[in-house]
Each structure stands twice: as C-alpha cells, then as structure tokens.
Amino acid sequence: MEQYRYRPLRFYMICFVFTWIFWIFAAVVSKSANDDGISALLMLLGLTAPAVTAVITVLTSKNKALKTDLKRKLIGFYRIKPLSIIVAVLGFMVIVVLSILLSVLVGQSLEQFAFTEDFSFSVGGTSALLTILLAAVIEEVGWRGYGEDSVAFYFTWFTESIIFGFVWSLWHLPLFWIEGTYHYGLKELGILYVLNFLIGVIPLGFLTTWVYVKNHRSMLACIIFHLFVNTMQEKIAMTPQTKCVETIIIFFAAAIIVLTNKEMFFEKQHIGNLLDYKEERKTEKGTI
C-alpha cells in the first residue's frame, strides 16, 4: 500500500477557521447579559474543532494504516512507558517548585505552596474543572490524533516541536476576549501576562513531544500529562508574576530534554515513515 502523505496546511487551516469562528462568537456572547451558557457551548464547539477535524480526516482517508494508527494511539495501552510519564509528572512538579522558590527574589510569597480553594475562572456557568478535563482529552485527540504527526511526517521532532509550538500558541488567541476564561483574566492584568502565556506554550510543546514520542506516540500518555499540567497550573496558588518565572524555567527544562534526547529529537528515520509499525517496534526497547 502506498505511504499516506499528511496534509498539515489543510488540517490546521480547518482547525483555525472553525475554532476561531466559534470562539469569536463566544467572545461576543460572553459580554451579553443573556449569555445563559451559550458562550460555554460555543467554546466547547471551538475546542472540539481539531479533534473532529483529525477524526474525519483519518476516517475519510481511505488508508487502513492511518486508521489503525489512530486506534492504537488511543487505546494501545502497550505503548505507554509508565516510568517516562512519572518522570514527566515529577519533572513538571520540580518546575513549579523552582518557579515559586525563585519568585521570592521578585517579591512573591512562599504561601504559593498551597492549593487554591477554587478555580480561577468560569465560563457561562460551566465549572473550570470540567473545562480542564475536556481540554486535556479533546485537544490531545486533535493534536496527537493527526496534527503533530502531520508536521513530523516532513521534519525532525525538534523542528516539529517549534512549528507546532507556534501554531498551538496562536490557536489560543481568541480566548483572551471571552469573558470568564483564564486567558481573559490575563488580558485584564496586562499585555505582559498575555505574552507570557503565548510564549510559554512553545517550550511546553517540547515537553509534550518528549512524552508523546517516548511513549511510542501514545495519545493516552499525552492526555495524562496535559491533564496534570492544567491541574497544577490551576490548583497551585502561583501568582501571575510567578508564572512568568515559570516560563523561563520551562525553557531551561525544554533545553535539557532536547540535549539529553538529541537522538530522538534530531533523528530522521521517521520522516515519511510514521506509519511503519515494524520500524516503530524495533525502538520499543529504548530508554526513557
């Protein structure tokens, strides 16, 4: 069977168009007194755009290998290397701890080592916890279901991480105008915090790529990591100023991950060959 060729430009254009249309309408509705949860519904529809696009793209591809790949990434528990996920989770905990400790140098308090009583945002009456859960699952179905692979099919994982990081960052832009969102709160604080979020997403993409590839392109592994990161960002009482420090720490963490996994990030054997499972299984004995 002829090797399937991914179409990243088409995929991301569809994702952006549908996500941004729903989210722009959500921004307008969120400022209305008669919202009644409509903005939350529009946000959910926008959130699902990458996942729906990925699933439809795969199912209509007429390529058996691509369809099997999606299934294995979603329910292939054998792909997961538990120790690598533990390392990723503990690593992000270290990032949070270092960020809080270093934030003391810029006048922040050690009282940030505490859990918040509630979440920092709510959209249209929908709980932030539900939003975080949905985001972790739905986003990963889209990004890992097709989006990340569509770029990695043509580039090394290092280059792919840079490209995807920028794309993922820009995808969030309309959220800064939807009242009640975490992102809207950042915009109210000032442009510095908006830029910090947008910039911080890029090195975070390297961490997620590491989790993804080390777990043999497991969507489940990325869902676990994404959910943990989102929860930590909300439930640990870090100030916006500390999250600026955190972005710097994440950049250093990403650099360390790349330098200690150069073979993974710069190898080219997977380019044009992502769906070759025989080659993938040859590497399953690799280290963390």
- Which residues is 123 bridged to in the sheet? 126
Residue in the block written with tokens 């870090």: 238
- CA 145 and chain centroid, separation: 12
List strand residue ranges (DSSP E) for 153-232, in order: none
Structure tokens at 66: 């691509």
Nearest to 110 by CA among 10, 236, 229: 236
Catalytic, out of 2, 111, 117, 139: 139
Catalytic, out of 111, 117, 160, 172: 172
Supply the DSSP string of 114-171, one letter for each residue.
Answer: SB-SS-S--BTTB-HHHHHHHHHHHHHHHIIIIIHHHHHTTS-HHHHHHHHHHHHHHH
Active site residue 172: yes
What element of type H or E holds 38?
helix 38-59
Active site residue 139: yes
Q: Which amino acid is at 3?
A: Q
Positions marked catalytic: 139, 172
